[in-house]
């Protein structure tokens, strides 16, 4: 019988598998699928297995190490926050005060 892996998940906690958290499990699985497809394509194109197997092994190991490092460094939502922080402007520039004058208190969002 095959090996049974535990997926640890508590109440209101992200899924954890072998030290990977939340979306990093999906990143690893997507990377492995791409690696499998690239192996298949190169094998069909006639690349020798002596070249293909070490290359696939090295790329798979690099993928696993990279995803593990990202998971440990950023955690559950840290990578999304890190990528979003680069899109936040340093300052905002307004040419008039009209936007702020017409705001209503209480969530009117500028509508009258």
Among 19-33, 36-50, 88-102, top mean pLDDT goes to: 36-50
Rounded to an integer, the average pLDDT of 92-104 is: 76
**Mean pLDDT value across the chain:** 81
Residue 31 CB-half CA count within 13 A: 18
The reported pLDDT for the residue numbered 97 is: 78
Please name which of 75, 76, 66, 82 lies closest in space to residue 28, comparing C-alpha atoms.
66
Q: How much of the chain, in percent, has pLDDT values that exceed 90?
A: 31
The reported pLDDT for the residue numbered 61 is: 94
The reported pLDDT for the residue numbered 4 is: 74
The reported pLDDT for the residue numbered 108 is: 55
Q: Which residues are within 8 A (CB) of 64 and not within 5 positions of it... i.e. 6 or more apart?
A: 28
Residue-wise pLDDT for 32-66, tens only, equals 999 999 999 999 999 999 999 999 999 999 999 99
CA dihedral 42, 43, 45, 46 (to 10 degrees): 120
Rounded to two decimals, the pTM is 0.62
Examine the pLDDT at 13 and tell me if it is beyond 70.
Answer: no
Rounded to an integer, the average pLDDT of 2-24 is: 69
* Distance between CA atoms of residues 74 and 67, nearest Å: 10
């Amino acid at each position: 019988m095959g090996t049974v892996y535990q997926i640890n998940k508590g109440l209101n906690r992200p899924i954890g598998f072998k030290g990977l958290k939340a979306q990093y499990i999906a990143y690893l699985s997507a990377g492995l699928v791409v690696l499998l497809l690239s192996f298949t394509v190169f094998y069909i194109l006639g690349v020798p297995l002596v070249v293909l197997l070490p290359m696939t092994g090295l790329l798979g190991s690099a993928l696993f190490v990279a995803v593990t490092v990202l998971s440990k460094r950023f955690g559950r939502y840290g990578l999304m926050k890190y990528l979003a922080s680069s899109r936040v402007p340093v300052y905002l520039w307004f040419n008039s005060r009209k936007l702020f004058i017409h705001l209503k208190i209480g969530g009117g969002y500028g509508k009258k």
